[in-house]
Amino acid sequence: MMLGYAIVRKDGSFVDGNLPAHIDRDRFCIMCAASYGAAFTAEKEIQGDVLELIIKSNAYNIIILPTKKGELLVIIGDEEDAEKMKNKVDKE
């Protein structure tokens, strides 16, 4: 079950979404963008492409995916939630 989502610019600024009230939106978005950027940089070293970044925890996963508009889609949930939201966001 999805706990929340955000669309984030690669600089970490929040564009849209619905995050739980207990999450510091600005800090969360900045850290997700930084995490994705670090994964992207590391992946370039082995000449690959980052398709998604998954941060697993006991409660929920944080899944970060690039969108067609060049932003990042951050899902707090599972991979099925991420796929559904990605399809929705990319159609808009």
CATH number at residue 19: 3.30.450.30
Domain membership flag for residue 3? no
d(CA 23, CA 34): 17
> In this structure, what is the dihedral angle of CA atoms 38, 42, 48, 52, given to the nearest 10 degrees?
-30
Instruction: Give the chain's domain count.
Output: 1
Q: Give pTM, 2 decimals.
A: 0.89
Domain membership flag for residue 52? yes
Domain membership flag for residue 59? yes
Provide the residue range defining the domain that includes 50. Answer: 8-91
Cβ(36)–Cβ(53) below 8 Å? yes
Q: What is the pLDDT of residues 16-74, one digit of tens each?
A: 999 999 999 999 999 999 999 999 888 888 887 778 899 998 888 999 999 989 999 99
Tokens describing residue 88: 């929705």
